[in-house]
Structure 1
Amino acid sequence: MKKNLSRKPARAPQKAKFEMSPAIQARMEKAMVSIGNIAGKQARKDDKIQREARLAIAETFDAWIDWLEEEAPDQIEEMFFELGCFATATNRRRMFKHAKAPDGVAERAQEQVDQWKAEEEAAREAAKAEAAGGANGHADV
């Protein structure tokens, strides 16, 4: 039993290209400006919410440290250490000037940051060596 296949042209005929009228083009431009304004307004609103959230945390920080000093004094050094490990160098220096920052925690945090940098550099060098060794190893095959 044979199946009759309908023949389709190998190529579809080209359709006329759509051209926007000046009125439609003006309306599209106006709509894009409107969308841009709405997105900008929403972005500013979101930024304000995040600024306010960071300010609330900053304003609560000293009260939390005071509570921590009474309830778990051993946690203060650990908290400063952890924050210091993830802060930028400038913020780390500023952070450890805080009145409640324990002595020696700045050096401990800097040692940890230096260790992480050394490990990252060693991993980078190992990856380079492996890539160079892998390129040379394929020549033997």
Structure 2
Amino acid sequence: MKKSLSQKPARKSRSSHFEMTPAMQARMQKAMVSIGNIADKQARKDDKIQREARLAIAETFDAWLDWMEETAPEQVEEVFFELGCFATATNRRRMFKHAKAPEGVAERAQEQVDRWKAEEEATKADAAEDAQSKSGAAESHG
């Protein structure tokens, strides 16, 4: 014999319409302002920490360069070369005015940057050419 399954009682439909009272809206607004102020304060604190860290590196750089000139002079040129390769054009010009910047490293860094730009442009041109040939092939099959 089969047992009959008991049926679940029908659920009451919940009202999906929720309205915030003016007091709730005021509390929500106050909470959002408070959260915004806390986030802003933390962001400013983090920015200050990072500014101080960059300043500490900058203030130590000359002493480190002096030490590098004594222990591994070839590394000084490599440091300036690598920094120059990743700097903006403006910062690159400024950087190579440094008293410890070796002769010729500015030109070497600029040559590397130019090579990277040429490689990037060639890659983009190849990609555009490939896309053009694929779209041309798709049109001829269509």
Where do residues 15-26 of structure 1 align in structure 2 (5 Å cutoff)?
Answer: 15-26=15-26
| Runs of 4+ with >3 A deviation | none
Q: Which aligned pairs between 1:1-141 and structure 2 lie closer than 5 A?
A: 13=13, 15-138=15-138, 139-140=140-141
Note the C-alpha offset of 1:137: 1.8
Alignment-mate amino acid for residue 140 of structure 1: H
**Distance apart, 1:41 and its partner CA:** 0.1
Structure 2 unmatched ranges of 5 or more: none
Unpaired runs of 5+ in structure 1? none
2-structure distance, mates of 1:60, 1:26: 51
Q: CA deviation at 1:140?
A: 3.4
* TM-fit CA distance, 1:99: 0.5
TM-score (norm 1): 0.90
RMSD: 2.4
Equivalenced residues, count: 139
Q: 1: distance between equivalents of 2:45 and 2:109?
A: 36
